[in-house]
């Protein structure tokens, strides 16, 4: 699979997530689970929908998507085979069908235009180079049906002084956060043609996140 960008090495990313896969659920529980729950609430998932989660990781959110959409199509896509293996084991404990897991980066997927009613993407964009943000937003737009919703959660610059600790960690010790850092993506979504319906910042154990709900015009 080709490198997405000169500053983003997909193979190194796989190696990074191979290392953190055993600890990812704990990290998520401590810092990201509040944002993930908020994103799920904003998504307003209805049964019989076509739902795609890009960067599904270990399947924590995808599990909840399937519970809300048992008779629909639920697709989880991720770059890391180690994260997907954990997702597969998690989902197999509860479901015998009703989901698909695909190993791919988001730009090399095989989905047709306007394939999904809902797209969820949590804590992926903050890993990518800024030069890719416009391309990411355009791909989200391509994949969604007219009027469909996008919900994203990202590492953000929080308003409190203690939030700046995480930006400092991201800058000084990027390996600890697998290269993630605070980002702002609303402008890129608007430029791609989305209408921003909700934009909220929340904090969990001092870790700042931004959740956005946008709709394809």
Residue pLDDT, tens place only, 102-147: 999 999 999 999 999 999 999 999 999 999 999 999 999 999 999 9
pLDDT score, position 212:
98
* Integer Cα distance of 57 and 7 in angstroms: 22
* 3-class SS shares of the chain: helix, strand, coil, % to 5: 45, 25, 30
pTM above 0.75, yes or no: yes
Residue 124: partners with Cβ closer than 8 Å, 6 or more residues away: 54, 55, 106
Q: How far apart are CA 141 and CA 114, in angstroms?
A: 8
- Give first-to-last CA distance, the chain, whole Å: 32
Mean pLDDT, rounded, of the chain:
94
Q: pLDDT at residue 93 above 90?
A: yes
Residue 1 has pLDDT above 50, yes or no: no
**C-alpha 173 chain-centroid distance:** 22
DSSP state of 44: T
Closest CA to 54 of 146, 140, 121: 121
Question: Residue 38's pLDDT is what?
Answer: 98
Phi and psi at residue 54, in whole multiples of 5°?
-90, 130
Structure letter (DSSP) for residue 28: I
- Report how far residue 141's alpha carbon sits from residue 193's, in angstroms, rounded to the nearest whole number: 7
Domain boundaries, the chain: 10-216
- Its CATH class, for the domain covering 10-216, is alpha beta
Q: Residue 5 has what DSSP assignment?
A: B
Runs of H (alpha helix) within 45-185: 60-68, 81-92, 133-143, 164-172
Question: For residue 193, is pLDDT > 80?
Answer: yes
- Position 10 scores a pLDDT of 83
Task: Dig out the tokens for 2 from the structure.
Answer: 């080709």
Tell me how far apart the alpha carbons of residues 107 and 29 are, in angstroms, rounded to a whole number.
Answer: 28
The CA–CA distances, whole Å, from 194 to 24, 144, 151, 156 equal 31, 11, 11, 20
Instruction: Assess contact for 156 and 131: CB atoms under 8 A.
Output: no
- What percent of the chain clears pLDDT 90, i.e. is strictly above it? 85
Rounded percentage of the chain residues whose pLDDT exceeds 70? 97
Nearest to 63 by CA among 120, 8, 21: 120
pLDDT band at 181 (very low <50, low <70, confident <90, very high): very high
pLDDT at 8: 73
pLDDT band at 7 (very low <50, low <70, confident <90, very high): low
């Amino acid at each position: 699979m080709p490198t997405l960008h000169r500053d983003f090495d997909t193979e190194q990313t796989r190696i990074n997530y191979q290392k953190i896969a055993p600890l990812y659920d704990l990290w998520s529980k401590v810092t990201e689970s509040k944002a993930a729950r908020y994103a799920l609430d904003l998504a307003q998932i209805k049964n019989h929908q076509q739902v795609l989660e890009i960067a599904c990781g270990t399947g924590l959110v995808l599990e909840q998507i399937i519970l809300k959409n048992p008779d629909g199509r639920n697709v989880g896509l991720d770059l890391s085979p180690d994260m997907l293996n954990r997702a597969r084991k998690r989902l197999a404990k509860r479901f015998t069908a009703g989901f698909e897991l695909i190993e791919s980066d988001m730009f090399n997927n095989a989905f047709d235009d306007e394939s999904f009613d809902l797209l969820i993407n949590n804590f992926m964009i903050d890993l990518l180079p800024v030069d890719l943000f416009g391309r990411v937003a355009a791909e989200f737009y391509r994949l969604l049906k007219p009027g469909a919703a996008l919900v994203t959660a990202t590492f953000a610059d929080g308003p409190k002084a203690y939030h700046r600790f995480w930006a400092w960690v991201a800058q000084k010790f990027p390996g600890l956060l697998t290269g993630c850092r605070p980002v702002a993506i609303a402008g890129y979504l608007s430029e791609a043609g989305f209408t921003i319906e909700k934009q909220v910042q929340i904090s969990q154990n001092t870790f700042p996140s931004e959740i956005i709900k946008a709709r394809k015009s």
